[in-house]
């Protein structure tokens, strides 16, 4: 058992001596602090974290309402400011400890993507998309830095929840007053072909479902994290409105993600509360809660016809036009992976759009692989897929370790980690059959959640010491 634990710690980088490594890293010592003398006289940098939080606020406030071009410009501004902050930082132990195992895996994934770009058959397109990927990964770095502040972390989450509430209210308005379908989102031969699928400001019901999934889970855990009854009532309102709007997208991938996320968050909430429960409820609360949720889902499938039709269409294979489309796209994607299995064709949709037509089935044009795992594999090969899965495992491991630490301290901050774990699971479940994950509205949220987990990280050797200090502060 000790050997297995040691192997797991090494694999997840839990015991990796980051502080010592960075202290001896020539590149880190040369870059970090390069402009530290300027920091003392610059008003902008002295208010650096607040300014960075303002830039992030613009990204998450405008994402559902504006074009991808404007979001791209805001991401460039965020990256430029992150670089400025990093160069003007002082090489203190606090700044060194802000680098986490998640950062290392993100950097490794970028390195694999860069190699895939160099080996791509469409290098110009791949290089352009590598730039886009770099923006998202550095957005993660800035978010991880800013979210270390509990006050700024709370502000970003509250901002996103209020923006998502506006988006959901407009979506519900479309349901009650009708909305013109902007594309063929349902099999025309299906009984649901005339059903309104809300899309709010995002123009696509599947994209709206992907955007609202984190809002549903965050609003649920906010009921426990927020202390006053007025705030709890607001969180409950957000939960009801966001959930209703997500359901009315009739996005099967969104529903799958919602079910996975809800089951995960309820299981983690039961685990969190189990230390306060009598022995009977400690044993049976999880089966009762999960069994009840599954029972409600089965009743909805049995008695609510639109839900039943949409759920059964998942298993219709090629008899459903959407399923048939994906199957034909996946057949072509498998051939692309077979021809370039190691490092793929290069990152991004531009690379995909130039290579996919060589493999596509007649009349089945596509902009992506319609699955995150397939997309990662076709872009960066099995090396990139292995790195991506390693990143996911390290992220979840970090979240669980820090959640257990905060559970021991009875800190309400742990509820946001519970929400983050459930959101990532839900987004991955949705992404198994769709690629809205690559759209800016959703991709920026994904890296926000990963950064939220990274912001809680403490070295394994320091967990006990930090827990004792935090416990003293709480008491």
User: What pLDDT band is residue 167 in, cutting at 50, 70 and 90?
Assistant: very high
Give percent of the chain above pLDDT 90.
Answer: 58
Question: CA 210, CA 261: separation in Å to the nearest integer?
Answer: 12
Q: In the predicted model, what is the mean pLDDT of the chain?
A: 86
Q: Which of the pair, 10 or 90, is modelled with greater confidence? A: 10
User: Which runs of consecutive H residues, i.e. helices, occur in 12-47?
Assistant: 18-23, 26-31, 36-39, 43-46
C-alpha pair distances (Å), 187 with each of 206, 208, 232, 249, 254 = 15, 19, 40, 15, 17
pLDDT at position 153 is 95
pLDDT band at 269 (very low <50, low <70, confident <90, very high): very high
Residue 93: pLDDT over 60: no
Q: Residue 422 CB: number of other CB atoms within 10 A?
A: 28
Could you tell me which of 108, 4, 150, 101 has the C-alpha nearest to residue 460? 101
State the DSSP string of 272-308.
HHGGGS-HHHHHHHHHHHHHHHHHHHHHHHHH-HHHH
Q: Distance between CA 69 and CA 317 in Å, rounded? A: 37
Q: Whole-angstrom Cα distance, residue 348 to residue 364?
A: 19
Digit-coded pLDDT (tens) for 276-292: 888 888 888 888 888 88
What value does the mean pLDDT take over residues 448-473? 70
Sequential DSSP letters for 425-444: HHHHHHHTS--GGGSHHHHH
pLDDT for the residue 20:
61
* CA torsion, ordered 308, 311, 315, 321, to nearest 10 deg: 100
- Token pair, residue 15, equals 């015991």
Distances (CA, A) of 224 to 410, 440, 471: 12, 29, 20
pLDDT-based confidence at 36, cuts 50/70/90?
low
pLDDT the model gives residue 460? 67
Give dist(CA 107, CA 447) in Å, integer.
13
- The string of pLDDT tens digits covering residues 318-329 is 777 778 888 889
Q: What is the pTM of this model?
A: 0.91
Mean pLDDT is lowest, of 16-25, 169-178, 345-354, 380-389, for 16-25
Domain coordinates of the chain in residue numbers? 18-98, 100-458
Residue-wise pLDDT for 339-352, tens only, equals 999 999 999 888 99
Tokens matching residue 228:
């006053």
Q: In this structure, is the dihedral angle defined by the CA atoms of residues 351, 354, 360 and 365, taken in order, positive or negative?
A: positive
Q: What percent of the chain lies above the pLDDT cut of 70?
A: 85
Separation CA 401–CA 269 (nearest Å)? 15
Average pLDDT over residues 229-245: 96
Q: What is the pLDDT of residue 395?
A: 96
Question: Residue 400 belongs to what H/E stretch?
Answer: helix 372-408
* Least confidently predicted of 3-17, 26-40, 295-309: 26-40
* Higher-scoring residue by pLDDT: 344, 37: 344
Q: Residue 455: name the closest of 100, 155, 110 by CA.
A: 100
Higher per-residue pLDDT: 189 or 144? 144
Q: What is the mean pLDDT of residues 87-101?
A: 67
Q: Which carries the bigger pLDDT value, residue 89 or residue 71?
A: 71
> Which residue has tokens 């294979």?
317
Lowest pLDDT segment from 114-123, 151-160, 302-311: 302-311
State residue 31's pLDDT score.
Answer: 62
Q: What is the largest CA-CA distance in the chain?
A: 68
């Amino acid at each position: 058992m000790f050997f297995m634990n040691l192997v797991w710690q090494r694999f997840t980088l839990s015991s990796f001596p980051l502080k010592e490594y960075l202290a001896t890293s020539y590149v880190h010592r040369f870059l970090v602090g390069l402009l530290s003398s300027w920091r003392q006289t610059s008003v902008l940098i002295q208010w650096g974290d607040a300014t960075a939080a303002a830039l992030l606020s613009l990204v998450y406030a405008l994402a559902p309402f504006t074009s991808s071009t404007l979001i791209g410009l805001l991401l460039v501004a965020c990256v430029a400011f992150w670089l400025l902050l990093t160069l003007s930082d002082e090489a203190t132990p606090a700044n060194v400890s802000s680098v986490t195992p998640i950062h290392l895996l993100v950097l490794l994934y970028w390195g694999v993507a860069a190699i895939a770009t160099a080996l791509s058959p469409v290098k110009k397109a791949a290089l352009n998309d590598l730039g886009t990927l770099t923006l998202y990964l550095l957005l993660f770095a800035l978010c991880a830095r800013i979210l270390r502040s509990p006050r700024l972390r709370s502000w970003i989450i509250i901002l996103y929840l209020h923006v998502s509430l506006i988006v959901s209210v407009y979506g519900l308005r479309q349901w009650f007053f009708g909305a013109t379908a902007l594309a063929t989102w349902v099999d025309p031969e299906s009984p649901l072909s005339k059903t309104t699928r809300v899309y709010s400001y995002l123009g696509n019901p599947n994209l709206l479902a992907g955007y609202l999934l984190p809002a549903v889970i965050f609003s649920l855990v906010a009921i426990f994290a927020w202390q006053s009854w007025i705030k709890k009532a607001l969180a409950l309102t957000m939960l009801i409105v966001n959930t209703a709007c997500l359901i009315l997208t009739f996005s099967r991938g969104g529903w799958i993600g919602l079910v996975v996320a809800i089951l995960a968050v309820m299981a983690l909430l039961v685990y969190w509360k189990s230390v306060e429960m009598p022995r009977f409820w400690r044993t049976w609360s999880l089966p009762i809660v999960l069994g009840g949720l599954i029972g409600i889902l089965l009743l909805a499938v049995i008695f609510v016809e639109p839900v039943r039709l949409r759920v059964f269409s998942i298993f219709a294979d090629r008899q459903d036009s959407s399923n048939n489309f994906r199957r034909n796209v996946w057949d072509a994607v498998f051939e692309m992976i077979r021809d370039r299995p190691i490092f793929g064709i290069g990152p991004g949709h531009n690379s995909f759009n130039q290579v996919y037509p060589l493999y596509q089935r007649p009349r089945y044009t596509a902009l992506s692989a319609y699955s995150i795992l397939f997309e990662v594999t076709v872009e960066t090969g099995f090396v990139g897929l292995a790195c991506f899965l390693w990143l996911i495992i390290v992220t979840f491991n970090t979240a669980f370790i820090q959640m257990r630490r905060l559970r021991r301290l009875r800190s309400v901050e742990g509820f946001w980690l519970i929400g983050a774990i459930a959101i990532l699971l839900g987004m991955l479940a949705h992404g198994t059959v769709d690629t809205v994950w690559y759209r800016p509205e959703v991709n920026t949220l994904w890296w926000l959640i990963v950064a939220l987990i990274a912001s809680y990280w403490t070295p394994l050797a320091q967990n006990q010491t930090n827990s004792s200090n935090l416990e003293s502060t709480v008491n």
